[in-house]
Amino acid sequence: LDTLHQAFAGRKEYFKDLFLENNWNWDEQFPVLHISFGAGIFKDTDSLNLRFNYLLSRFAEEYKVKLKEKNISDRFDELVRKISEKQNQKVVILGSPYKTMQVGGIGKNYAHNVLILLERTHENVGRKSLKLLTCIVL
């Protein structure tokens, strides 16, 4: 997924002498949210929620937007909307919650919930703000 991240972020230098160097629109750059649950050990959904909230806060800081919402799904909607408005560009979301599957069966359900959250965000925020090229690797 890091390869996709670099491509959507417009970092052509990473693709020198590779196929994408001459087969990608480098003039178009997108803000990228790479949601990864690979860091840490998650014993329950509370620990996964803490990680997701941390990621949302980190993205808000990176893109210099302030989040007011408290609910995770509302914060996610708000984050995507504000980044899109600020950057005047759609937001690309890359998700890789695969490692959570190793945690007592909660990972698979959580990954499913993340997919539902992404679909809901797409409906709420709309196509104008979200380039729903979401990649979930399980």
Is the model more confident about 122 or about 56?
56
Model pLDDT, residue 136: 42
What whole-number distance in Å separates Cα of residue 73 and Cα of residue 116?
A: 10
Give the rounded distance of the alpha carbon of 109 from its chain centre: 18
Local confidence band at 111 (pLDDT 50, 70, 90 cut-offs): low
Beta bridge partners of 92: 32, 131
Contact 77, 118 (CB under 8 A): no
This prediction has a pTM of 0.75
Residue of 29 and 99 predicted with greater confidence = 29
* CB neighbour list of residue 50: distance below 8 Å, 6 or more residues apart: none
